[in-house]
């Protein structure tokens, strides 16, 4: 992030466009975030007006936000909303990317990252690995989480993912194999999979529950692979076919899927991810339970993960 500086009235605001677009080729998911930043910057520069302060309802504030983003040609959906102090907090899907946006109670101004006045103030993020974090995060790993790798591996990658998310499929196809080959198989890293089905992906919740039913028979990772390798075919008929192909008891699997018994687990992981800062998929935390984790956002190239993992291994 560019270093925050105090701006005088009428001072020219310089946006470092070159730095962002130099990364777009490697990280296409940056585009929607960059566009959102420009939109919200424009709203703050040109949207102020004189007048009294009148609160509006959450629904009205949400409508204002969606209307503003849509006016720029982006698709916007409100996934959830709540009042947070003197602001409304909206979990918003913008062109398929989940973003948290705050809106003032009068419904006039949008804020991407409010700064608490009792904090030390804004801090420049000088980490070029796109960790998206200025500090380490504590992550609690459930006892029933699905883990790939040696239990005592020194570095843990916690992945929050969505089986219908195209960027998650990119991570699976382009990056995970190399991490597995170079780190997981070598006993240096273990991977923990956590569910984070996005609300605008119609098949994500069902896919997550079906993967848990496969896990009930010890074949979570086999179903995980099938889903990402055949993402366009997600659906109940495909789950039955894949269950047969990976050697599940199909009757038990079908009964499990129909029961919805794992809906609560999937929803619990989704809520927990939001609590620790996951705002889109794939989202990662890399580190260990003793020292905490570094937050990493998006389907970054393998080289980025390699750099972070090596830094964690070096302590």
Report the distance separating Cα 81 and Cα 79, nearest Å: 7
pLDDT, tens digit (0-9, with 9 covering 90-100), for 222-241: 999 999 999 999 999 999 99
The continuous run of DSSP H or E covering 244 comes out as helix 236-245
Angle, CA of 309, 227 and 78, to the nearest 5°: 80
Q: Are 179 and 157 in contact (CB under 8 A)?
A: yes
Percent of the chain at pLDDT exceeding 90: 54
Answer with the residue of higher pLDDT: 264 or 85: 264
CA atoms within a 13 Å half-sphere pointing along the CA-CB vector of 104: 11
pLDDT, tens digit (0-9, with 9 covering 90-100), for 31-80: 444 445 545 545 444 444 434 457 889 889 888 888 888 876 778 888 77
Q: Are 100 and 73 in contact (CB under 8 A)?
A: no
pLDDT, tens digit (0-9, with 9 covering 90-100), for 244-261: 999 999 999 999 999 999
Q: What pLDDT is attached to residue 1? A: 45
The dihedral built from the CA positions of residue 48, 43, 45 and 131, taken in this order, carries a sign that is positive
Report the distance separating Cα 294 and Cα 283, nearest Å: 11
Q: What pLDDT is attached to residue 109? A: 80
Q: What pLDDT is attached to residue 55? A: 86
Q: What pLDDT is attached to residue 268? A: 96
Answer with the residue of higher pLDDT: 94 or 226: 226
Q: What pLDDT is attached to residue 39? A: 52
Q: How many helices (H) and strands (E) does the chain have?
A: 11, 9
Query: If we measure between CA atoms, which residue out of 213, 305, 297 comes closest to residue 252?
Result: 213
pLDDT, tens digit (0-9, with 9 covering 90-100), for 276-307: 999 889 999 999 999 999 999 988 899 999 99
CATH code 3.40.30.10 region(s) in the chain: 146-314
**SS3 state of residue 148:** strand
Superfamily of domain 146-314: Glutaredoxin (3.40.30.10)
The dihedral built from the CA positions of residue 108, 113, 115 and 116, taken in this order, carries a sign that is positive
Q: What pLDDT is attached to residue 232? A: 95
- What's the pLDDT band for 126 if we cut at 50, 70, 90? very low
Report the distance separating Cα 281 and Cα 197, nearest Å: 9
Q: Are 250 and 202 in contact (CB under 8 A)?
A: no
Q: Which tokens is 100 given?
A: 């948290």
Q: What pLDDT is attached to residue 53? A: 54
**SS3 state of residue 90:** strand
Answer with the residue of higher pLDDT: 16 or 209: 209
Q: Which tokens is 114 given?
A: 């409010």
CB contact set of 73 (below 8 Å; sequence gap of 6+) = none
Percent of the chain at pLDDT exceeding 70: 75
pLDDT over threshold 70, residue 148: yes
DSSP 231: G
Compute φ and ψ for 95, nearest 5 degrees.
Answer: 50, 40
Compute φ and ψ for 312, nearest 5 degrees.
Answer: -70, -40
What average pLDDT does range 300-315 have in this prediction?
Answer: 94
The dihedral built from the CA positions of residue 239, 242, 248 and 251, taken in this order, carries a sign that is positive
Query: If we measure between CA atoms, which residue out of 76, 50, 49, 52 comes closest to residue 63?
Result: 76
Report the distance separating Cα 105 and Cα 120, nearest Å: 25
Q: What pLDDT is attached to residue 73? A: 72
Q: What pLDDT is attached to residue 18? A: 35
Compute φ and ψ for 94, nearest 5 degrees.
Answer: -120, 110
Residue carrying structure tokens 């070159």: 18
Average pLDDT, the chain: 80
Q: What pLDDT is attached to residue 141? A: 94
Answer with the residue of higher pLDDT: 152 or 30: 152
- Pairing of β 76-84 and β 87-94: antiparallel
What average pLDDT does range 161-190 have in this prediction?
Answer: 96
């Amino acid at each position: 992030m560019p270093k925050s500086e105090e701006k005088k009235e009428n001072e020219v605001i310089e946006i470092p466009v070159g730095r962002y677009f130099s990364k777009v080729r490697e990280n296409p998911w940056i585009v929607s975030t960059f566009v959102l930043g420009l939109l919200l910057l424009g709203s703050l520069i040109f949207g102020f007006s004189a007048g009294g302060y009148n609160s509006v309802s959450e629904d009205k504030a949400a409508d204002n936000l969606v209307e503003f983003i849509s006016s720029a040609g982006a698709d916007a959906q409100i996934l959830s909303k709540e009042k947070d102090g003197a602001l409304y907090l909206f979990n918003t899907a913008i062109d398929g990317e989940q973003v948290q946006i705050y809106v003032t109670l009068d419904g006039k101004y949008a804020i991407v990252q409010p700064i608490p006045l009792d904090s030390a103030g804004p801090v420049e993020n000088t980490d070029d690995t796109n960790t998206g974090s200025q500090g380490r995060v504590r992550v609690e790993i459930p006892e029933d989480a699905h883990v790939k790798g040696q239990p005592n591996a020194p570095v843990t990658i916690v992945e929050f993912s969505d089986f219908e998310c195209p960027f998650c499929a990119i991570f699976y196809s382009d990056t995970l194999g190399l991490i597995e080959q170079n780190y997981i198989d070598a006993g240096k890293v273990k991977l923990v999979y956590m569910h984070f089905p996005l609300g605008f992906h119609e098949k994500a919740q069902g896919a997550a529950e079906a993967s848990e039913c496969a896990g009930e028979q010890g074949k979570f990772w086999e179903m995980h692979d099938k889903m990402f390798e055949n993402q366009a075919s997600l659906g109940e008929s495909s789950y039955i076919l894949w269950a047969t192909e990976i050697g599940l008891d199909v009757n038990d699997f079908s009964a499990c899927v129909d029961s919805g018994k794992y809906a609560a687990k999937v929803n619990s992981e989704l809520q927990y991810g939001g609590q620790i800062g996951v705002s889109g998929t794939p989202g990662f935390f890399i580190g260990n339970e003793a020292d905490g984790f570094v937050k990493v956002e998006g389907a970054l190239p393998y080289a980025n993960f390699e750099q972070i993992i090596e830094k964690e291994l070096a302590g």
